[in-house]
Structure 1
Amino acid sequence: MAGGKRTRGGVTTGPVAAAPRVRVLLPLPLGNAYDYRVPEGLALTPGAFVVVPLGGRETIGVVWDGEPDPGLSENRLRNVQAVLDAPPMTAVLRRFVDWVAAYTLSPPGAVLRMAMSAPSALEPPAPQAGWRRAAAPPAGARTTPMRRRVLEVLADGAARAGGELAEAAGVAPAVLRGMADAGLIEPALMPRRRLFAAPDPDHPGPALGPEQREAADALRAAVARHGFSTTLLTGVTGSGKTEVYFEAIAECLRRGRQALVLLPEIALSAQWLDRFRARFGVAPALWHSELTSRTRRETWRAVAEGAAPVLVGARSALFLPYPDLGLIVVDEEHETAFKQEEGVVYHARDMAVVRARLSEAACVLASATPSLESATNAQTGRYATVHLPARHGGAEMPAVEAVDLRRTPPERGRFLSPALVAAVGETLDRGEQAMLFLNRRGYAPMTLCRTCGHRLRCPNCTAWLVEHRAQRRLQCHHCGHVEPIPEACPECGSAHSTVPIGPGVERVLEEARALWPEARVLVMASDTIPGPAAAAAAAKAIQHREVDLIIGTQIVAKGWHFPHLTLVGVVDADLGLAGGDLRAAERTVQLLHQVAGRAGREERPGRVLLQTFAPEHPVMQALVHGDLEAFMEAEADGRRPGHWPPFGRLAALIVSSEDERAADRTARDLGLAAPGGEGVEVLGPAPAPLAILRGRHRRRLLLKTRRDIAVQPLLEDWLDKVEVPGNVRVQVDVDPVGFL
């Protein structure tokens, strides 16, 4: 168990009441807080972190709001054992935990666990010992030139760490030991170092154009009001949205409040961090899954103490203990990466708006391609809007063309059409950079036997195995299962009969090397760019023109700025349109528009080629004509009559079990107990598109209601009617964004 400095009576904001018991919420998937007895002499207020017994062990919890159960007999109560010396959890964060739990139908303890994601941070950092000049050095103590240099460094009276002191004075550590023995210096506790330098809101940044200044003024005013507001910040790719919301961060800093920026891929945001340093003079605090446990502990504590003025993080950063949050920015707010699909299922964009409301803070949702939900909220006046219509610095939007693969198909066995091959060749000949985009990792998405037609499938999931030729392996991108490429078909036994079907980025790389052998090629995919260091190295190589051709998956759409990139070729623009996903067209137009926006961001004009079998599709037409607004209006018109989001509410129940019959029985029982009435419809049960995932059989039911009907009471009543066996799991997904 992570411990901390334990104190009795260490909470100073006044006791809750004279009653000798409190409610304590534990970071466990439990539905309610537990009552505990408060020992004599110990004063507790809501938010205090305490150590309590649970079963045969100790655990850390939080004193929660509300009255203990007066009907609980005294002999069933156990004592709070200690209070931890940590900043109490704020009332805002406690309310946020309760709100998220109620909205997502999750146990409050499971949500609390996300807010206690660094339990070791509840222990104050150990004091560090150093040296200072002795207050009363003995008369006649011998001094040498080296000792005098040490005393000169310590002349300001401040304590210094031994290593730092020895280095500053140019002496060996033995000299310090001798001076201590002689009484010239004495041990002293070091002041705690500041982990994060304070960003300077008045540090000179890039010059803003007239439209950017007007937009920045609007966001600064929203922050200055010190109240809740939500603003949708839109603008074409390259219009300077980041620099605009930086001015909102600067205003937040001037008013002494903390700012949070949520990014969909914080580990891949090297260029964003460079821009932040250029504007504010220092780096922000970071929060993402790749931080070391020590950095997480130090960052969590710094946030709680108000010593991290700006934090940039992934969706989990919403649950950090900010004492006074004044601004939340959700960059690329349309990204589905903000939806957490496991554990507590929530959408960070929507929860950011809630946290801002509870904190009386401003919220900014930024995107070149806003979600239909956010666009609708802006149109109805729930959100304010700020729009940047043109690229910054006079750069023009790229010209977008559709390449009809029915008329100009690639050569047999190839995947790049003659038009795209010619365009890449011309771009490279001019000394400019080109990008080929395909949202598929690996070499091929499917492998089959040419003899019997058997398709190699994951043993744990309803998914094809993806070939990764460079590693000589087949991999499931859903559960991570890996196996070698077989020498013979596992079904019919034919030797060397398996063949790859379709392209992945590795196969495009193979084709590119054959076409342009002299080109310097970089593949940008999650397999090749695994974290911050690799992302920074890739961005640096591209900016320094050490790369001619970039081949990438969706991570190349995440806000990169490559000044010399003038051509983007989309290998398969139709890829995201397959299947019955409600948001397939919306997501495809957003992704392709973001990818297209990488081209021509400086003085040289950009060009985008979309390889498609359906150039007449509304998505392709919207991209070619640059009319995303008309596309989104048509998308809204298609959803409004059927009360599909954002004009109605959805909630999914995902039933899963390792026992297929148990999953079917529970799904059937839920179907029979489904709610009804005007404006309420239940679809299913039906096998999920991924009917088996990680060895569990999955069935789905979908609740659809009018916008004015709250789904949570319906779900709670529905679930109460059905007894779920212990070997079956029912996951609730309110406002689903995916349907796999």
Structure 2
Amino acid sequence: MNRVRLIIFNAALGPLDYRVPEGMDVGPGSVVIAPLGPRQIVGIVWDEGRLPGDTVPDARLRPILGVLPVPPLKPELRRLIEWTADYYCASLASVARMVLSSGGALKGPATMTEYRLSGGMPERMTPKRELAIAALEGEQATMRELADISGVSEGVLRGLVNQGVLEPVVVDCDRPYEKARADFDQPDLSAEQGEVAGRLVQAMRDGGFAPFLLDGVTGSGKTETYFEAIAEALRNNRQTLVLLPEIALTEAFLRRFENRFGAAPIVWHSSLKSTERRRAWRAIASGEAQVVVGARSALFLPYARLGLIVVDEAHEISFKQDDGVRYNARDVAVMRARFEKIPAILASATPALESLQMAESGIYERLVLPSRFGGASLPHIETVNLTEEPPEKGRWLAPRLARELFARLERKEQSLLFLNRRGYAPLTLCRHCGYRFQCPNCSAWLVEHRLSHRLACHHCGHETATPDRCPECGEPDCLVACGPGVERIADEVAEIMPEARVAVATSDTLNSPEKAAAFVAMAEAGEIDVIVGTQLVTKGFHFPELTLVGVVDADLGLEGGDLRAAERTYQQVAQVAGRAGRGAKPGEVLIQTRHPDAAVIAALAAGDRDAFYAAETEARRHAGAPPFGRWGAIIVSSEDEPEAREAANRIGAIRPNLPDVQILGPAPAPMALLRGRYRYRLLLNARRSAELQNVIRDWLGALSFPQGVRVSVDIDPYSFV
């Protein structure tokens, strides 16, 4: 009797046993179709003996219906799925689902119909047809994609097909990608870069697991050094994965990559069309894909010959997923490299304290690039004490910062103003009755966005038009914006410097790779004088003419209950400061603050990273916080507040009493209402010796909850709202 156990994508059911029909070739990792009740489901055959579950009698087993035409998941990937599920207290099914993230890719080879201009003209020209023909010159895509490109309806385009103006073209969905070449354009590396690159290339040649912390100041050329390791992977026909924290960074990276290797890498992120995801997934699984550049989800793709993993800007918190499987891609990347027995490179100018500690203990090999490439110097940094040099009434830029902006404009140099707050103002209220606009779904104020004339919640996405009068008292022209966002700062710059060309750079304005590429092109062409941006502009961008960075409110990140606030503030401000003076001209950074003596601000002003990290390390050691202790969180939520409170209290009532685990709560979460769900939290602080995951599993496993209650676990949390 040939039987197998499958992971199916229903965490509530767990693994299920099936019979393998005679003559069907099924082994561990095979992706199969199996019956479940009246439905057909996708499952993954797992290794014998590795999944718990009751043994079903042979006579009751239903047969597998078929094997899908994709390569079996490799043992290394199956071990990664198991480790991720175990470490982050998630189900195997929810982790495995991330591997099979393109349903279309599982159906095997296929063709599709695209359309392009034939060169003919319609019998009758209309304004919309004329618009479409002009917009589609040189384009070939599906009907829906052409409609997006041209801005006309699919009905208009189908009329052009009937007239012979657009002609159909049958294309292979799995058509090959252009090949990158290791030696297309050899770079001119500095001596420091050459030494670091040589070590990375040697690790590629030696083979085996080798984790590196590539610690280089901003502008030191970290990318060029790890490009040499990618070149070595190409020479050996091995695949490379490069993880980036933001899709807005991909366009600039793709251009640098193409200049070095003669072809663009394969891109993977949430904005891809389904046909692009299918093509990329199958190329990765077959081994045809050479280099993949992607967001954190690219980490779980089924690479056939993975040889190198790079995590760029490895300190970024966007590598931590805050819903579903709450994993940290930085840490999972190192574990994947360990299972695959390949090098992993964590690159950053401001590494996470955990990564520095791993290097200090000898687990990671630290490679240092201490100076900028090409003789460029690090910027000069000063603080502006807002209690002594306050802005004018109704303004947010201190006079000294305003003067420096004028000076840069006169010298035809660029400036960057950083404020990590989207929109125009974080709070809008009525000056007549005091009414505040609050999100109906979250414990958050609605943020005014004047560019779109909307009030928006940045947590759930709720939006409403900005009203003409107060909805509470009905008074017209009484709404007041409180506090600054980037749009308000941009308005201030336009008011005091009307001749300046100002660009707002946030996830609202650069919400696609194409818009990010257009912004970069304008900045590099000198068509922007002042950039006003959020954390999006703190990383990855290289503008040689940018010589001034102004941090509008350095204290903002130190507010609230973030247990990593000091480290995060240091990283953000140091990264944005690193945008200044990257070319031949020296750079200057002005940090506006009301607390210039705060340890993190003083360290930034002094340029003394080591002193800050040493002080932060001692504070963490004293508190038993990561990397010297472990954090975990249990989040309880329900659409019914009493139900959520009752469930949280039940969890708290049977908390384990352990000497090496401290449990705080339950208490209402700082964001007590999020997306229509009431939330309670428990925070665990454990010693390194504690088996934190087992403690949580045993604790929660003894309880059951009503259907409306969700209980989620966050190991190594980064968000404390």
TM-score of the superposed pair, with normalisation by structure 2: 0.90
CA displacement 1:421-453 (0-9 Å, x = unmatched): 000000110111111111111110001121232
* Structure-to-structure mapping, 1:270-285, within 5 angstroms: 270-285=251-266
Match of 1:37 among 13, 19, 35: 19
SS of residue paired to 1:478: coil
C-alpha distance in 1, partners of 2:250/2:407? 30
Per-residue deviation, 1:30: 4.2
C-alpha distance in 2, partners of 1:615/1:510? 27
* Structure-to-structure mapping, 1:368-379, within 5 angstroms: 368-379=349-360
> What residue identity is the alignment partner of 1:37?
R
C-alpha distance in 1, partners of 2:681/2:172? 57
Match of 1:618 among 599, 609, 612: 599
1:81 and 2:62 correspond:
no
The aligned counterpart of 1:489 is 470
How many residues of Structure 1 are paired with residues of Structure 2 in the alignment?
664
1:236 and 2:217 correspond:
yes
> What residue identity is the alignment partner of 2:84?
V
C-alpha distance in 2, partners of 1:254/1:630? 42
> What residue identity is the alignment partner of 2:486?
V
C-alpha distance in 2, partners of 1:638/1:528? 38
Once structures 1 and 2 are overlaid, which stretch shifts more, 441-450 or 247-256?
247-256
* Structure-to-structure mapping, 1:664-683, within 5 angstroms: 664-683=645-664
Per-residue deviation, 1:190: 10
* Structure-to-structure mapping, 1:451-470, within 5 angstroms: 451-470=432-451
> What residue identity is the alignment partner of 2:265?
P
SS of residue paired to 1:569: strand
Match of 1:658 among 639, 649, 654: 639
Q: Gaps spanning 5+ residues in structure 1: where?
A: 1-18, 130-162, 164-188
Match of 2:4 among 1, 11, 22: 22
1:604 and 2:585 correspond:
yes
The aligned counterpart of 1:140 is none
Instruction: Calculate the aligned-residue CA RMSD, in Å.
Output: 1.7
> What residue identity is the alignment partner of 2:349?
A
CA contact (8 A) 1:53 1:81 kept: yes
1:91 and 2:81 correspond:
no
C-alpha distance in 2, partners of 1:197/1:190? 16
* Structure-to-structure mapping, 1:195-274, within 5 angstroms: 195-274=176-255
The aligned counterpart of 1:14 is none
CA contact (8 A) 1:651 1:736 kept: yes
Per-residue deviation, 1:123: 2.0
CA contact (8 A) 2:174 2:282 kept: no
CA contact (8 A) 1:333 1:349 kept: yes
> What residue identity is the alignment partner of 1:122?
L
Per-residue deviation, 1:676: 2.1
Per-residue deviation, 1:56: 1.3
Match of 1:446 among 427, 435, 438: 427
Q: Runs in 1 of length 4+ with deviation above 6 angstroms?
A: 189-193
C-alpha distance in 2, partners of 1:104/1:531? 30
C-alpha distance in 1, partners of 2:172/2:436? 64
CA displacement 1:546-594 (0-9 Å, x = unmatched): 1111111111112100011000111111110101211001000100110
C-alpha distance in 2, partners of 1:33/1:685? 33
Per-residue deviation, 1:193: 6.9
C-alpha distance in 1, partners of 2:535/2:10? 35
Per-residue deviation, 1:191: 9.4
The aligned counterpart of 2:613 is 632
* Structure-to-structure mapping, 1:244-643, within 5 angstroms: 244-643=225-624
C-alpha distance in 2, partners of 1:415/1:407? 14
CA displacement 1:574-616 (0-9 Å, x = unmatched): 1101012110010001001100100000110000111111111
> What residue identity is the alignment partner of 2:393?
R
The aligned counterpart of 2:105 is 121
C-alpha distance in 2, partners of 1:400/1:195? 49
C-alpha distance in 2, partners of 1:476/1:55? 42
Once structures 1 and 2 are overlaid, which stretch shifts more, 215-224 or 231-240?
215-224
Per-residue deviation, 1:198: 2.3
Once structures 1 and 2 are overlaid, which stretch shifts more, 389-398 or 55-64?
55-64
The aligned counterpart of 1:175 is none
Per-residue deviation, 1:31: 6.0
CA displacement 1:595-643 (0-9 Å, x = unmatched): 0100000110000111111111111111111111110110010010221
The aligned counterpart of 1:708 is 689
SS of residue paired to 1:269: helix
CA contact (8 A) 2:244 2:312 kept: yes
CA displacement 1:248-291 (0-9 Å, x = unmatched): 11112222211100000134322211111111111101100111
CA contact (8 A) 1:336 1:737 kept: yes
C-alpha distance in 2, partners of 1:516/1:673? 62
CA displacement 1:297-316 (0-9 Å, x = unmatched): 01000000000011010000
1:49 and 2:28 correspond:
no
1:110 and 2:91 correspond:
no
SS of residue paired to 2:417: strand
1:60 and 2:48 correspond:
no
> What residue identity is the alignment partner of 2:654?
A
SS of residue paired to 1:702: strand
C-alpha distance in 1, partners of 2:561/2:221? 35
C-alpha distance in 1, partners of 2:466/2:500? 30
CA contact (8 A) 1:420 1:609 kept: yes
Change (3 A) 1:499 1:93: same
SS of residue paired to 1:25: strand
C-alpha distance in 1, partners of 2:5/2:403? 70
CA contact (8 A) 1:673 1:721 kept: no
SS of residue paired to 1:551: strand
CA contact (8 A) 2:173 2:275 kept: no
Per-residue deviation, 1:499: 0.4
The aligned counterpart of 1:136 is none
C-alpha distance in 2, partners of 1:641/1:529? 41
CA contact (8 A) 1:30 1:109 kept: no
CA contact (8 A) 1:324 1:359 kept: no
C-alpha distance in 1, partners of 2:469/2:329? 46
Change (3 A) 1:720 1:408: same
The aligned counterpart of 1:694 is 675
> What residue identity is the alignment partner of 2:15?
A
Once structures 1 and 2 are overlaid, which stretch shifts more, 596-605 or 119-128?
119-128
* Structure-to-structure mapping, 1:179-194, within 5 angstroms: 194=175
> What residue identity is the alignment partner of 1:314?
A
Give 1 or 2 for the bigger CA radius of gyration. 1
